[in-house]
Amino acid sequence: MLHEYRSDKLKPDLVGMTQPELEIFFGDLGKESYRAAQVMKWIHRGLADSFDVMSNFSKSLRNELSLTASILRPKVLDVSCSDDGTKKFLMGLEDECRVETVLIPGEDHDTLCLSTQVGCQMGCRICRTARIGLIRNLSAGEIVGQILEVRRREPLSRITNVVLMGMGEPLANFDQTVKALRIMSHPNGPQISWRRLTVSTVGLPNGILQLGRVIRAKLAVSLNAVTDEQRTAIMPVNRIYPLSELLGALKEYPLARRDRITIQYVLIDGFNDSDADARQLVRLLNPIRAKVNLIPFNDELDENFRTPKPERVLRFQEILMANSLVAIVRRSRGRDITAACGQLAGGAGSPS
């Protein structure tokens, strides 16, 4: 079983600790528990990457912390800028593995798309990350650290929304993902509201049910097909968790009063974009509080599939909307810098 990277030479990384964990850490050093909140604010709000700047700590405490702990952040190795304003950051980790993080500017706020694993084992055919395979899980610190590093480099960014939609399957790295979400939403952390945190999954039913039991994040699911045969052809995970099991888990996912589950549906020409497919999607989603994001396939990802014609996309959308489903056609952002859906993997992966 793969775990997140840990080196024996590394001191504990305070970026990936929740406030209760920091309280234990300071307790073990014989220090007051309020130090936990202070250090958390310095790291996540002050963007401190050294104990030296923590001016409300005595010099001796700063020295002691430097000897016993670390503040680790991924390092930006490269930035690509799209014509549409999207930026893709290639991040280097302590063991020289690399992941990608995408900043998507909006009119009044920005969205950051984070990676949760180096590579991915889910093997989706319409995704470049799948070609790397899974190298390792990210730690909670490495997940949250992507926000800190982008905020440090882009001081004018207004990152209020975070989606776990970059490299990797978040629910296959469940514990570190949940811990990262708790840190992100904490008042002394990066302060991303629960309502603006979205976990995007290929659709692991047990992980979905467990997530609903432990936290309140929003859920996005890549459905992409309306029959098992169709879905298995592009998403091998469907062999293990067929549509009936996935839809059963979605029915049980707890939602706040006005919330809906986001269903991602990549439209592929002649494969899953017919009128009959649209009507079947309406039937499948009937018992679920859902809205649908329609994403025309990016035909650079697999030469065997094609982007549907714009009129087909509109017709598919019309059928969903005529049946009272909220359906939005999503523009692919950052396509010219391979930062769009399914494109992440450019320089990422392991160094070898």
CB of 217 to ligand SF4, least distance (A): 17
Give the nearer residue to ligand SF4 in terms of CB position, either 113 or 127: 127
Sign of the alpha-carbon torsion through 218, 224, 227, 233: negative
Q: Where on the phi/psi map is residue 64: left (φ > 0), alpha (ψ -120 to 50), or beta?
A: alpha
Catalytic hit among 94, 100, 142, 169: 100
Give the nearer residue to ligand SF4 in terms of CB position, either 114 or 313: 114
CB of 11 to ligand SF4, least distance (A): 31
Give the nearer residue to ligand SF4 in terms of CB position, either 13 or 169: 169
**Count of CB atoms situated within 10 Å of the CB of 110:** 20
In angstroms, rounded to a whole number, what is the distance separating the alpha carbons of residues 272 and 255?
Answer: 28
Give the nearer residue to ligand SF4 in terms of CB position, either 40 or 91: 91
Phi, psi of 50 (to 5 degrees): -150, 150
Question: Catalytic annotation on 113?
Answer: no
Q: Which residue has the tokens 């629910």?
A: 171
DSSP string for residues in 258-291: T--EEEEEEE-TTTT-SHHHHHHHHHHHTTS-EE
Give the nearer residue to ligand SF4 in terms of CB position, either 12 or 242: 242
Burial class (CB in 10 A: 0-12, 13-18, 19+), 127: buried
CB of 123 to ligand SF4, least distance (A): 6
Single-letter code of the amino acid located at 294: L
CB of 200 to ligand SF4, least distance (A): 8
Residues that bind ligand SF4 (CB under 6 A): 120, 122-124, 127, 129-130, 167-169, 202, 342
Question: Catalytic annotation on 100?
Answer: yes
DSSP string for residues in 131-183: GG-EEEEPPHHHHHHHHHHHHHH-TT--EEEEEE-SSS-GGGGHHHHHHHHHH
CB of 293 to ligand SF4, least distance (A): 14
In angstroms, rounded to a whole number, what is the distance separating the alpha carbons of residues 88 and 110?
Answer: 13
Catalytic residues: 100, 341
